[in-house]
Amino acid sequence: MCRWGLWLSGLLLALFALQLTVLAFPQLVVTNCVQVGTVVLYYDEASSADIETLAADVEMRLRGSGFYDSTRINRVFFFQNQNLYALYARLTMVPPGAQGFCLPVFNNSFVSAPIIAALAAGTGGLPRYSIWEGSPAHTIAHEIGHQYIVDRIGGKKISHWKREGLPEYVANIALIRQDSLASLPDRVGVLNSGQMWSATRHPERHNWDRIHYEAGLLVEFLIDVQSYTLTDIIADSVTRDETLAAMMAWVKEQNRRP
């Protein structure tokens, strides 16, 4: 019995080591890559020209976010093969239907091209600057944004709206500042649009997605309107309800102006 126990323990340790190796070094499986700035984008079944354009889009978003780290190399694995993506998701106990996920401990992010494309086809890319739009660059920059925040705050526990709102800010703010039709009051109007968020395309998740969108707006309000720093935002005293009330009051005041 003792011998069998040792054998089983050794087998489990070997399987665990194999799992860690697969997650830590996906480039052993997905070998094609391009690098633009700090973004190293690995891909399995796509044109290198398309991938380079995508990597440049992500790099532009990161540079314009205010959280950019020129010393950080960001490895992203962009899968056209959904089965391969699902394998990595299951190894980390992430739902395989997620657009993407990251493993900060290994500095790796994983993104599914088919899931993102299906989302874009179902929503028509609306609303813009949300996880509904089905943008690979948005999703990739969002996952890198998670890693930026972990780099800065370590293991500190923060509320869900901050944990998701900060990466949404990283992913979108550079484009938003170039879009005259995407003012913060305009996008708060989108947030308050019942028709937009009652869409039946994904009825089981639209409330979750609305919360995701709201989180990005709240963080944007704190940084761009209230001039909060990351240290200010992650303080326990900064709550979702108080921030939402302050943002709505500010928007109301902006809409009164001629």
What pLDDT digit, counting tens, does each position of 205-239 carry?
445 578 889 999 999 999 999 999 999 999 999 99
pTM assigned to the model: 0.92
pLDDT at position 4 is 60
Sorted by sequence, the CB contacts under 8 Å of residue 59 that are 6+ apart come out as: 36, 37, 38, 39
Q: What is the pLDDT of residues 162-214, one digit of tens each?
A: 999 999 999 999 999 999 999 999 999 999 987 777 654 554 444 557 888 99
| Burial group, residue 101, by CB count within 10 angstroms (0-12, 13-18, 19+) | buried
Regarding predicted confidence, which is higher, 65 or 132? 65
pLDDT, position 22: 72
What span, in angstroms and rounded, lies between the C-alpha atoms of 108 and 118?
Answer: 24
Convert the pLDDT of each residue in 89-128 to its tens digit.
999 989 888 999 999 989 999 999 999 999 898 888 888 9
**Crossing angle, helix 48-63 and helix 136-153, to 10 degrees?**
40
Please tell me the predicted confidence (pLDDT) of residue 13.
66
Measured over the CA atoms of residue 52, residue 123, residue 245 and residue 178, the dihedral's sign is: positive
Strand 32-36 and strand 74-79: pairing? unpaired
| pLDDT exceeds 80 at position 11 | no
Cα separation, 162 vs 160, in Å, equals 5
Hey, which bits of the chain come out as E strands? Answer: 32-36, 39-43, 74-79, 100-103, 108-112
Amino acid at 36: V
